[in-house]
Structure 1
Amino acid sequence: MLGRVLLVLLLLFFSITLRAQLKISGKVIDEKNTAIEFISIKIIDPKNKSNYTQTDSNGAYVLKNLEAGKYILTFSSLNFETKHDSFYLKQDTVINILLKENSNTLNDVQINAKKALIEKKIDRTVFNAENSVAAIGTDALELLAKIPGVRVLNDQVSLVGKGKVNIMVNDKLVQLSEDDLTNYLKSISSDNISKIEVITNPPAKYDAQGNNGLINIVLKKAIAEGFKGAFNSTFTQATHSTASVGGNLSYRKDKITLYTNLNIRKGSLAPFEQSNVFYPTQTWNIVNKDRNFRTVPSGQVGLDYQLSQKTLLGFSYNGGLTNFHSEENIRTTIFNSVQRLDSILNSDASAKIRSHYNAANLYLKQALDTTGKQITINADWFKFGDDKSRYFNNTSYAENGAIIQNAFAEYLSTSKQSIDLYTLKADVDLPFKTFKFSLGTKLSFIENESDLAFYQKRNEVYQADLAQTNLFNYKERTQALYVNLNKTIKKWDFQIGLRAEYTQIDGKSSNELNQNDYFQLFPTFYAVYRASETSNWGINYGRRINRPAYRKLNPFRWYSNQYVYAEGNPFLQPSYNNNIEISHVYNNVFTSALSFSHISNGFNDVNFIDASTNIQASKPINFITGYNYQLSNSVLVKPIKGWESSNQFDVFCNVSNSSIEQTLNNLKGFSAYFSTVNQFTLNKSKTIMGDVNFWFQFPAVDGLNNNRSQCNLDLGVKTLLFNKKIQIAVNATDILKTNQYRFNSLVNNIRQEYNNYYDSRQLRLTIRYIFGNEKIKQIDRKAGNEEERKRNN
């Protein structure tokens, strides 16, 4: 049925195209016969109404949907003399213009067209980081925490009321594990970020992966011709200290653009985890004191080459590694039924992890004409590997403090993993006079190999436990096609898309086979009604899929002590989500959105507890049917000159239904979230700035967990020196030490309580020095579709 509807829409749009009206097109050049980009073009029609456009990177322009009659064209730019042209339009007309350079042009000028801090578009909300005081002296992960509706807890990014989201950089999904993703985001300086797009319902051109949407970090691409760079250093003091240094360089000359960056971070954190497990006759109090150390170097290099006016070729490489080791003490105090000390289990542990990733991208962008029709081809290779080892011992003590006989044991667990990912993607953009049409395809191949082993020390020798030695192989192939249509009808903007994905899975672990293939359709729909110049209404719908992480598919057991372990599930299946949202934007100041989402076949980790053996086994399974109802409100105000305040208030209800008897059948609850991000300019020259940021999360239901309230207060001050070449920023995060993750759950009628703190109270000093040529002539290739241009990194 859906296919027939799309066919009818296609025929309708093409019939409209055949009846299209007249157009004016042409090219603007200078006295050296060089194409001039970003020339402003004003057209006055026979009814004395004005419209505007500008030339693209090839100096071309086009004005469409024109009726016969008298027109006046004006070509203008700061660096060129203004030129007027008056004529009578009878048919499609080509007008080429030569502009003379303005003799009064300044040699060194910087022009910044300032956008609103937050913009609402048809399919996303845009946070313009370039205009944010909060973006000075931070990194990408810290900047995400300052965006209304986005939360960063324990370095994990999520949306308020919805859960974790996938992260993209320049429209490309970052295929990293949680820890490596954190390191990568911290290596991106906020000074290199142009904007951040929050896409709760992604359109068809994006992968359908990720139930809760996407966050797309768009890096700055426009660079001055010549040489430019920056050096930055950061010192952070939490319980312990961390330092990082890095920098970036860029160079453009004629057809070549080169860019590179290098960063290294070294330091340690001291997270604290505490839990209580209430068995029928005992209470286990578990305290995990940890100090983990990281050394994280990473870098990027890229090259863009303009083969011709219509052809752009590029290559980029990203790489990084992490040297990690931790020192842990896990102390379990066991009380009897009358809360008297029964025994103590002590475990000392240390872990070493060395991981690395390499990512390469080759792309070709070919303009098909001067009206924006183009094709973009991306070939990507990503490789990730890690080598883990974890040593731990267990010692049991009686209530009098004496070591229980034969209670001491030593263990070693190891893991080696290798992930290879290859993708080939092609996108075609075909803007016509009355609508825009795009289509594309993507092929991806993933191969994951894991080699895990478990050893116990006997007679001073570690002996392998063959029953817990495992080689896990997992292969996944996906073929995808999508189509997307955009159409404007008077005050209405429409966008409709359909993505089809066919996936084949082949997994093998411990002689367990998991072979599966499935075909799924993912429709999207958006509509915006411009009721007035200050009032816009919107509605959107989309269907998504959430495929499990590779580690969740591996059934190997990873022990913390002899009673506690975690394992994967090779038969874990994807979950699916349907999302719908109705929104209203008033004067780009006040935004409200009412949304609903339904998740089916949802999966999560369940900590199964056996009262007879005291075994705690954590395993991911498909068991959740969930519903989320949410009302979001945001307002951007400027109470006084120099003060910009962005505020968010959400009210939501989460409902989780479970299909397994060990858990509660139903868990639901209302909650609310409030955040305020305030930026201050403290002097007339705008070189001293400050920010105050606060959020509060009321108690909420998350899956089968009841989360307690938490809040966070951050303060910061920044100054710009020596003609803004030097930036100095001091930031204090979680000043009140209230950003604690506290929750409880009930499994097998056994209550579990958790209270975790991840060392988030920190004081950070950042110094950044900018150098190089900053002339006005810049490159910002927008030959057709700016969105597809973001793939060039």
Structure 2
Amino acid sequence: MKLINYKNFNVLLLSLICTTVHAQFKLSGKVIDQENKIIPFVTVKISGTQNLVDYTQTDSLGTYQFKLPSGKYSAVFSAINFESVNRLVTITGNTVINVQLQRTPSILADVQVSAEKALIEKKIDRTVFNVENSISAIGTDALELLSKVPGVRVLNDKVSLVGKGEVNVMINDKLVPLSADELSNYLKSILSDNIAKIEVITNPPAKYDAQGNNGLINIVLKKVNDEGFKGSVNSAATKASYFTASAGGNLSYRKNKITLSSNFNIRKGSIVPYEQSDVFYPAQTWNIVNKDRNFRTVPSGQIGMDYQASKKTLLGLSYNGGLTSFHSEENIKTRVYNGSNGLDSVLNSDANAKIKSHYRSANIYLKQALDSTGKQLTINGDWFTYRDDKNRFFNNTSYFENGTVIPNSFAEYLSTSKQNIDFFILKADVDLPYKTFKLSFGTKLSFIKNQSDLAFYKVLNHHYEIDPGQNNQFNYHENTQALYLNFNKTIKKWDFQAGLRGEYTQIEGISVNERNKDDYLRLFPTLYVIYRANDKNTFSVNYGRRINRTPYRKLNPIRWYSNQYAYAEGNPFLQPSYNDNIEFSHTYNIFTTSLSFSKTTNGYNDVNFIDPETNIQASKPVNFITGYHYQLSNAITFNALKGWESINQLDVFYNASNSGIAQTLGSLNGFGAYFSTLNQFVFNQSKTILGEVSLWYQFPTVDGLNQNKSQYNLDLGIKTLLLSKKIQLAITASDILKTNQYRYSSLVNNIRQEYNNYYDSRQLRITFRYNFGNEKIRQQDRKLGNEEERKRNN
């Protein structure tokens, strides 16, 4: 028998030990909730000996995976709205660890103020403001709450992003299909207590319509699970120059396979906007002051039903409707000064406008699960109709400088406008989550019809006689076919998402003397990359291309007169504008820094063309802007003291605009800055007495070819919860210092124009809300198909 060579044996043994030490084993598993549903995007942190720390996230199937050498490790599983789980693991071979997370219990029954949930989150394609964790979500409405979100501005009830422009607003991924004025009315009818989070999507992914150069804001409403009834009633009294009152309520019911929901709101009151402008003609200066009291009555309502036909099939339908009754009492006084700054004459115009409008929409919806792994098909059919009827009566009287009437200067006029808009939409989306990636694709067909009828009358011998040259019917048709593809993958610390959307559009606009017909195919790519270096450092970059199609009313060439010297008209040859956006950002703990760049091509805006010979002021939309926007944003959220939460943001930006028309400045550029701070306070241990102080300051800046002056705004609020927190009372004061005034200047035809507008924003509001019934009813989420077109009826 041959003896073993011990020297060779020792070498072999040492080799086997080294191989075992350096072998890589797989640690994997799945994360589910207490209802055994998968949880995607759970952060999994692994730490072991020799300072080894690694991170990953669960994919769309709730699975995770690591490659690790043998040894002892600590694994921490954490996700928003769930309690963290810590597991000790010993790795000696391939190991499977499945984890079940429990949802974090609410601290408050209706308004959740949870320190464990980040107030602001940065995700791969959006920034999320978690309203449920904010004191701002008590006693306000959705429009006012948007003004508290870092990076979002609300000016004259119009929602925009700091340094950029107006954005489209969605509710639960559904674009709100209303004009700017009606959108503000709608948002004011949504109580902030019902909002879970607000998502700011500067570069929307391919699944969303490409409409809107400046991105989207998505308001996500609260969703809860239990069966039964839930309801609330609310009321508010607001004092600006005059009073406005509002009231409403909602009721939901879920039992077995059926979920019913409804709401109704009404608002009635008036405000007094003030607009002043100075036009510096070569030989004269016109000072124009418009004092206007607007009265509105705005009722709206919604009803919806979802039916869970089977475990894999959900059917739903909904109906929404609302109307606006508006009338105004205006006085427009124009003082004309001569070259020596002496009063030359006065033009007085008294006017009143009456507007009746209403909208109706219906949605039918199918969500079909294709298997048990999350693959599904969603189909939406939508119908939307909008009608308005506008009449504006005005007269003009001219006076000499001594106050006597200029002979034969009195005249009366009437402008009328009727508009009918109809949309029909069919949309299908397929989501295919696989083990290592997620794929989604879809299609959308939209058919739009817009009919407008405008006329202008002058009173002669006490009768209204139509001006044939100012009478017009405008018919507009737009059809769009869209396809998109989206790909998402997570590789350890990296998240990748890429998409491509194609939209083919055919348009035709016909008026009395003009016809415009066109069709175009455009592609809209998107790309997102996120690198999570560790639990404190996250880096991201994204790119997207967008289109800004024209609102229908801006295509109608007929004139809408304010007085005999000023009118607005549309442009049937107006073309869409395009925007390319790229953004880099870094988040470190409570700090977020972003650097972005965007380029606008073929941009359009209203230009107030002034004729120095006739003093006629004609406002008309024109494609003439090529714009460049550079922005550096810094945000910090922290708890300065116990019970004090502070959200702060500073944006510094540089705008450069080039004009393609000779009447304006060839170019205008300059820096601007915006600072905001939102401070929320909890005054007692039971968290039933709350306070808020918010301030924003807009430094002078360039906006297109306008130069904006500085403005700022200070708000205060106190809120309390009573009767086991089912009653909410709040008192808020907005624009306390009356400094939220929009002041800007422009130069057209070498004629300088200066504007100073104030929209009655200093207000005191008292709100009351009472919640009753089971407060944990699940509201099914539905994605309407007509996301893009319904917005553009403004």
Q: Which amino acid aligns with 1:682?
A: F
Task: Rate the CA distance shift 1:88–1:626 in 2: closer, same or farther, 3 A.
Answer: closer
Deviation at 1:178, TM superposition (A): 1.1
Deviation at 1:94, TM superposition (A): 14
1:313 to 298, 302, 315: 315
1:614 partner letter: N
- Residue 602 of structure 2 aligns with an amino acid whose one-letter code is N
- Taking the aligned partners of 1:260 and 1:622, their CA distance within structure 2 comes to 43
Question: Is the 8 Å Cα contact of residues 109 and 725 (structure 2) preserved in structure 1?
Answer: no
Structure 1 residues 433 and 615, CA gap change in structure 2 (3 angstroms): same
Shift of 1:121: 0.6
Q: How does 1:429-440 map to 2 (within 5 A)?
A: 429-440=431-442
User: CA–CA distance in 2 between the matches of 1:22 and 1:374?
Assistant: 29
Match of residue 355 from structure 2: 353
Deviation string, structure 1 residues 565-619 (Cα, Å, up to 9, x no partner): 10000000000010001000011x1100000000000000100101111110010
The offset of 1:445, in angstroms, is 1.1
1:58-77 matches, within 5 Å, as 63=63
2:55/2:534 contact within 8 Å kept: no
Cα gap change, 1:67/1:337 in structure 2, threshold over 3 Å: closer, same or farther?
Answer: closer
Assess if the C-alpha contact under 8 Å between 2:212 and 2:547 holds in 1.
yes
Q: Deviations over 1:522-556 (max 9, x none)?
A: 00011111112100011011111001100110011
**CA contact 2:307–2:315 (8 Å) conserved in 1:** yes
1:221 Cα deviation (Å)?
2.6
Aligned equivalents of 1:594, 1:44: Cα separation in 2: 29
What is the aligned partner in structure 2 of residue 218 from structure 1? 220
Describe the SS at the equivalent of 2:539: strand
* Rounded Cα–Cα distance in structure 2 between residues aligned with 1:265 and 1:619: 33
- 1:132 is matched by which residue type in structure 2? S
Structure 1 residues 47, 240: closer, same or farther in 2, change over 3 A?
Answer: closer
Q: Equivalences for 1:203-602 in 2 at 5 Å?
A: 203-587=205-589, 589-602=590-603
CA contact (8 A) 2:175 2:786 kept: no
Structure 2 equivalent of residue 771 of structure 1 = 772
Give the structure 2 partner of residue 726 of structure 1. Answer: 727
The aligned amino acid for 2:220 is V
Q: Which SS does the other structure have where 2:136 is aligned?
A: helix
State the alpha-carbon separation in 1 of the partners of residues 482 and 152 from structure 2.
29
Aligned equivalents of 1:723, 1:520: Cα separation in 2: 55
**For the Cα contact (< 8 Å) 2:32–2:38, is it kept in 1?**
no
What is the CA-CA distance between 1:220 and the residue it aligns to? 1.6
Report if aligned partners of 2:313, 2:367 keep a CA contact under 8 Å in 1: yes
Once residues 718 and 255 of structure 2 are traced to their aligned partners in structure 1, the CA distance between those partners, rounded to angstroms, is: 37
Give yes or no for contact 2:678–2:694 (8 Å, CA) kept in 1: yes
Q: Secondary structure at the match of 1:308?
A: coil
Residue type at the aligned position of 2:715:
D
Secondary structure at the residue paired with 2:641?
Answer: coil
Mapped partners of 2:656, 2:67: distance in 1: 56
Amino acid at match of 2:632: L
Amino acid at match of 2:747: L
2:631 corresponds in structure 1 to: 630
Q: Which amino acid in 2 is paired with 1:188?
A: I
Asked if 1:172 is matched to 2:170, the reply is no
In structure 2, C-alpha distance between the alignment counterparts of 1:787 and 1:362, rounded to whole Å: 10
The alpha-carbon distance between structure 1 residues 555 and 109, as it changes in their structure 2 partners (threshold 3 A), is closer
Residue by residue over 1:324-370, the C-alpha shift from the partner in whole angstroms, topping out at 9 and shown as x without a partner, is 00000000000111011111100000000000011111111111122
One-letter code aligned to 1:723? S
What amino acid does structure 2 have at the position aligned with 1:715? L
Alignment of 1:736 with 2:737, yes or no, is: yes
Indicate conservation of the 8 Å contact 2:32/2:39, yes or no: no
CA contact (8 A) 1:218 1:790 kept: no
Distance 1:620 1:290, change over 3 A: same
**Cα distance change, pair 369–342 in 1 and its aligned pair in 2 (3 A):** same
Q: Is the 8 A contact 1:64 1:433 kept in 2?
A: no
Provide closer, same or farther for how the CA distance between residues 39 and 149 of structure 1 changes in structure 2, counting only shifts above 3 A.
Answer: closer
SS in 2 for 1:372: coil
* One-letter amino acid matched to 2:738: K
Asked whether the equivalents of residues 65 and 433 of structure 1 are also in contact (C-alpha less than 8 Å), the reply is no
In 2, the alpha carbon distance for the partners of 1:490 and 1:26 equals 16
Query: Residue type matched to 2:616 in 1?
Result: I
Work out the CA distance in 2 between the residues paired with 1:483 and 1:713. 45
Counterpart Cα distance in 2 of 1:747 and 1:112? 52
Listed as ranges, the matches of 1:676-755 within 5 Å are 676-755=677-756
Report which stretch shifted further, 489-498 or 386-395. 489-498
- 2: CA distance, partners of 1:162 / 1:26: 40
Alignment check: 8 A CA contact 1:38 1:55 kept: no
Cα contact 2:39–2:62 (8 A) shared by 1: no
Distance 2:643 2:332 in 1: 50
Q: Against the structure 1 CA distance between its residues 42 and 139, is the aligned structure 2 distance closer, same or farther, given a 3 Å change threshold? A: closer
Equivalenced residues, count? 745
Could you say which residue in structure 2 is the equivalent of 1:605?
606
- Measured after TM superposition, the shift of residue 441 of structure 1 is 0.8
Structure 1 regions of 5+ residues with no counterpart? 1-20, 30-34, 98-104
More deviation in 686-695 or 86-95?
A: 86-95
Contact residue 413 and residue 459 of structure 2 kept, 8 A: yes
Structure 2 match to 1:668: 669
Shift of 1:372: 1.2
Task: Return closer, same or farther for 1:112/1:652 CA change in 2, 3 Å cut-off.
Answer: closer
Task: Give the conservation status (yes or no) of the 8 Å contact 2:113–2:134.
Answer: no
Residues of 1 paired with 2:352 and 2:233: CA distance? 35
The answer to whether the 8 A contact 1:345-1:396 is kept is: yes
Give the match for residue 193 of structure 1.
Answer: 195
Give the Cα separation in 2 of the matches to 1:302 and 1:132.
Answer: 29
Amino acid at match of 1:663: T
Distance in 1, Cα, partners of 2:603 & 2:99: 59
- What is the RMSD computed on CA atoms of the aligned residues? 3.7
Per-residue Cα deviation, 1:234-284 (whole angstroms, up to 9, x for no partner):
000000000000011111111111111100000000000001000000010
Aligned to 2:18: none
Distance 1:761 1:767 in 2: 20
SS across alignment from 1:316: strand
